[in-house]
Amino acid sequence: EEKDSSWEDKLASKYYSSLYREFAVCDLKHYKSGNFALRWRTEEEVLSGAGETTCGNTRCVHHGPSGDYKASLTTLELPFTYSEHGETKSALVKAVLCKKCLDKMMWKRRKERSEKAGDSEERRSDDVAEDKRHKR
């Protein structure tokens, strides 16, 4: 019987740790530089559903316990590198974000893509202008 309770305790512990580590919350304070911080959810956040049923950005007004507001939330899977007992580990974690915070998360990537598209657009127009000069 001790073995059964020991196995059950291990199973419960494994489930509990996965509950804490399935979803992460983030801080998008420095989103324009492409930097954001991820951390595991606290017990209070797990129990309230914050970061799973609400926006996972700690600075968002929709982060707290869900009330009447039901934002359209998007779940992302993000690589998360962290240190545990002096050992570097990495995991894919889920982050749930409202539309405004999702736009912040993707801001730098979209900006770089639009700049790259703008550069290639400029090059194309320069090439066309040069082709016209050579045809004369």
pLDDT per residue rounded down to tens, the chain (136 residues): 445 578 888 887 777 677 678 899 999 999 999 899 999 998 888 888 899 999 999 999 888 776 545 668 999 999 999 888 889 999 999 999 999 999 999 999 899 999 988 776 555 555 545 454 444 4
Q: Determine the distance from the C-alpha atom of residue 108 to the mean position of all C-alpha atoms in its chain, rounded to a whole number.
A: 13
pTM: 0.68
Q: Where are the domains of the chain?
A: 2-105
Is the separation of the CB atoms in 64 and 25 below 8 Å?
no
